[in-house]
Amino acid sequence: MEISLQGVDFAYQVAGRQLPVLYNINLKISAGDFLALTGAGGSGKSTLAQIIAGLLEPTAGKVSLDGRVLPGRGRFRGPSPWSRIGMAFQMPEQQLFAETVMEDVSFGPRNMGLSPDRVKARAYKALEAVGLDPETIGDRSPFTLSGGQRRRVALAGILAMEPEVLILDEPTAGLDPAGQELVLDLIRDFARRRDRAVVVVSHNMAEVAAIANQVLVLHQGRIALRGTPRDIFRQEEALRAYGLLPPPLTQLMHSLKQRGAPVPTDVLTLEEAQEAILHWLKG
CATH number at residue 221: 3.40.50.300
Specify whether 105 is located in the same domain as 54: yes
Specify whether 119 is located in the same domain as 259: no
Specify whether 47 is located in the same domain as 58: yes
Low-confidence ranges of the chain (pLDDT < 50): none
Please name which of 195, 197, 83, 106 lies closest in space to residue 156, comparing C-alpha atoms: 106
For the whole model, what pTM was predicted? 0.89
What pLDDT was estimated at residue 59? 95
User: How many other CB atoms are found less than 10 A from the CB of residue 199?
Assistant: 26
C-alpha 258/C-alpha 253 separation (Å) is: 9
Domain count, the chain: 2
Specify whether 145 is located in the same domain as 242: yes
What's the chain's Rg over C-alpha atoms? 20
Specify whether 175 is located in the same domain as 251: no
C-alpha 267/C-alpha 249 separation (Å) is: 7
Q: What is the pLDDT of residues 221-245, one digit of tens each?
A: 999 999 999 999 889 899 999 999 8
**Owning domain of residue 281:** 247-283
Specify whether 145 is located in the same domain as 272: no
What pLDDT was estimated at residue 65? 93
Specify whether 255 is located in the same domain as 131: no
What pLDDT was estimated at residue 78? 64
C-alpha 164/C-alpha 216 separation (Å) is: 20
What pLDDT was estimated at residue 183? 86
What pLDDT was estimated at residue 121? 96
